[in-house]
Structure 1
Amino acid sequence: MPAPAPWRFDAIGTSWEIVTERELPAPVRDEVTARIDAFDRAWSRFRPDSVVSALAHGGGSMPAPPDAAAMLEALAAVSDATGGAVNPLVGASLDALGYDAGYSLRDRGPVAAPGDWRERLSWQNGRLALAGPATIDVGALGKGRLVDLVLDTLARTEAGDITVDAGGDLAVRGRPQRIGLEHPFDPRRAIGVWEVTDAALCASAINRRAWPSATGATLHHVLDARTGQPVRTIAATWTVAPEAMTADAAATALFFDGGPRLAHDWGVEWVRMTTDGRVEWSPGCRADLFVRTDSVGR
């Protein structure tokens, strides 16, 4: 029996592809769609009816979405590891550079995220609370979290082998998959291939979600929250971990000092490319990289 066609759709601002060994019944697809929509209604800063948008306007307290503790505790660990370069209140910084709800791409100048975010944001006792207006952004790991949730939904069915790919953040269960690592400066090329088995691979790059500034310089979505400016040293990162949220968080952390140490502590394998073309990787990394040893840093 031939394998079913991939299920492709757009959600949370990216393209999804779900490949399964067996056809997904309509109720399963409906459950996946509902789970994605519930996550988006909680965490999207692009839709006015989300929990994040409601808190952004005046602060206050609301029932915490189911993923609040898992995601915000992981974000706190990434913030600690990167010296505050990653910050869950970076939403206003992204808005200021034009990556806002209207996708205006109008650069109004950098705005640093509040360094005292731990005093402003809390997620205890089943409540998500903000002391004053601020915009939560979970983009550092949110897509990975949602990939895990979708995979969990499908793994409870008789789908067989499963691959869930959400715009480059993917998880594999069952048959191994060989994934190309797209060159950040030339999407027609790959810098290597990584075989993934019962794990997740997440990627982040400065060539995705990029736009020109008022001065002509290129802006992108990976910001240093301490300055509100896009990072300029690392061009792309790739990570492999048992869960996509862990891989996604580590992929973000690897744009900054402290990222490699965090990845080591979490048991995450990684590869990254600097903006001057050097490729670095973690000890014992099992990716098959197409690089010359005289042009590589570790």
Structure 2
Amino acid sequence: MKAEEWPVWGTTARVVVTEPSTLPAARVLIESMLSEIDLACSRFRPDSELMAAGRSSGPVQVSPLLATLVEVALRAAEDSDGAVDPTVGNALCALGYDRDLSIVDVDGLAVTVKIAGWRSVTLSGNTLTLPKDTVLDLGATAKAFAADCCARLVADALDTGVLVSLGGDIATAGPAPHGWQVLVQDRDDDPSCVVTMPAGKAIATSSTRSRQWRRGDRLLHHILDPRTCQPAPRMWRCVTVVADNCTDANTLTTAALVNGNQALTMLREHNVPARLVAADGSVRTLGGWP
């Protein structure tokens, strides 16, 4: 196997291939795909298609890519009973997360605003209708979906087994006779473990510690509870789930952080291998983990 990594979207992209000669081409394919997705749905660039759609009044025609990304986000909202809501963009902006975390303004107040709710977003084919002044945030699904897309793209185009990691979102595709060994650890001071994941599976980790910023005297994180428009209580440091695809895995990990003390019940209902690190550092596992 051969690997390469580089910075992207405030995190690290990493690609591992089972056929070493395919690595340069794999990186080119992944960088191209990530660039397309960024231009389609970034909340941090005014020229993105998503931000342009938010400035429009009434229905707007969007590209097939953006329509797919919004559809994925709405499906995640429905599957999570609203715990993963793409309309929290306004709330994140009001809390100060209106730009890349490396340049977030630490001065000022963290304001609470109401959100329209995911049911107020309408998508019919490529026609998107948003409530007035609504900013969508697709971060809870777009990165995981990108990992899924990149893994499938590389495997199909280059005839290789591949693992694509975008921060805590990891997707695999193609053959890997011995599976993939993955280190599961959010922060350096968190408990760690190594799991062997079958080829074609995905694993995602969501955290209340990795994407943090300070606003005045408050230390905030990016997983918002749509019911309060505030960061979810830090009952869990992080949650990790293995699933058939990274999008589903990340939907469950995000929803678990939002659901707090109901996370274990929710994950058991979905019957997925899961690992939860509590605020005190203790570890809970279920669903046959690892």
Query: TM-score, length-normalised on structure 2?
Result: 0.85
Instruction: Specify the alignment match of 1:243 in structure 2.
Output: 245
Cα deviation for residue 148 of structure 1 reads 0.4
- Secondary structure in structure 2 of the residue aligned to 1:90: helix
Q: Distance in 2 between matches of 1:262 and 1:150?
A: 29
User: CA–CA distance in 1 between the matches of 2:186 and 2:49?
Assistant: 36
Q: Report the CA distance shift for 1:262/1:191 in structure 2 as closer, same or farther (over 3 A).
A: same
Unaligned 5+ residue runs, structure 1? 287-298
> Secondary structure at the residue paired with 1:204?
strand
Indicate if the aligned counterparts of 1:16 and 1:165 stay in contact, CA closer than 8 A: yes
Give the letter for the 1:68 counterpart.
Answer: V
Deviations 1:124-162 (A, max 9, x none): 132122131111111122211000000010110345231
- Corresponding position of 1:10: 7
Q: Show the counterpart of 1:274.
A: 278
Residue-by-residue CA offset, 1:79-112 (whole Å, 9 max, x unaligned) = x1xxx44321111111122211254243532424
How far apart are residue 40 of structure 1 and its match? 1.1
Summarize the Cα distance change of 1:112–1:273 in structure 2 as closer, same or farther, 3 Å threshold: farther
Moved more, 30-39 or 40-49: 30-39
Partner of 1:122: 122
Match of 1:19 in 2: 16
Aligned to 1:30: 28
- Structure 1: distance between partners of 2:8 and 2:92: 20
The correspondence of residues 1-298 of structure 1 with structure 2, limited to 5 A, is 3-4=1-2, 6-22=3-19, 23-24=21-22, 28-60=26-58, 61-64=60-63, 65=66, 66-78=68-80, 80=81, 84-101=82-99, 103-106=103-106, 107-119=108-120, 121-173=121-173, 174=176, 175-182=178-185, 184=187, 187=188, 190-198=191-199, 199-215=201-217, 217-232=218-233, 233-257=235-259, 259-286=263-290
Contact persistence 2:77–2:118 (CA under 8 A): no
Secondary structure of the structure 1 residue equivalent to 2:192: strand
User: What's the Cα RMSD here?
Assistant: 2.4
| Alignment CA distance shift 1:110-1:142 (3 Å) | same
Q: What's the secondary structure of 1:76's corresponding residue?
A: helix
Following the alignment from structure 1 to structure 2, what is the Cα–Cα distance between the partners of residues 172 and 86? Answer: 24
Report the Cα distance in structure 1 between the residues aligned to 2:189 and 2:236, rounded to whole angstroms: 20
Secondary structure of the structure 1 residue equivalent to 2:252: helix
Bigger mean CA deviation after superposition, 46-55 or 242-251: 46-55
The aligned amino acid for 1:209 is R
**Contact persistence 1:270–1:282 (CA under 8 A):** yes
SS in 2 for 1:172: strand
* 1:210-232, Cα deviation, whole Å (9 max, x unpaired): 122312x3211111122222122
Instruction: Give the secondary structure class of the aligned counterpart of 1:247.
Output: helix
- Is this contact kept in 1: 2:183–2:194, CA < 8 A? yes
CA shift, 1:267, in A, is 4.1
Q: Distance in 2 between matches of 1:77 and 1:162?
A: 28
Q: Give me the whole-angstrom Cα distance separating, in 2, the residues matched to 1:219 and 1:54.
A: 28
**What amino acid sits opposite 2:130 in the alignment?**
L
Task: State the distance in 2 between where 1:69 and 1:86 align.
Answer: 13
Q: CA deviation at 1:27?
A: 5.4
CA contact (8 A) 2:73 2:86 kept: no
How far apart are the structure 1 equivalents of 2:186 and 2:47? 37
1:235 to 1:201, Cα distance in 2 relative to 1, 3 A: same
- What is the DSSP-based 3-state SS (H/G/I as helix, E as strand, rest coil) of the residue aligned with 2:153? helix
Alpha carbons of structure 1 residues 250 and 59: separation in structure 2 relative to 1, 3 Å:
farther
CA distance in 2, matches of 1:85, 1:111: 18
Equivalents in 2 of 1:122, 1:58: separation in Å? 14
Task: Identify the structure with the greater helix proportion.
Answer: 2
Determine the C-alpha separation between the residues in 1 that align with 2:281 and 2:25.
Answer: 47
Deviation string 1:227-274 (CA, Å, 9 cap, x unpaired) is 222122221111100101011111101113354455445443211122
Q: Tell me the secondary structure at the aligned position of residue 132 of structure 1.
A: coil
Count of residues in correspondence between the two structures: 275
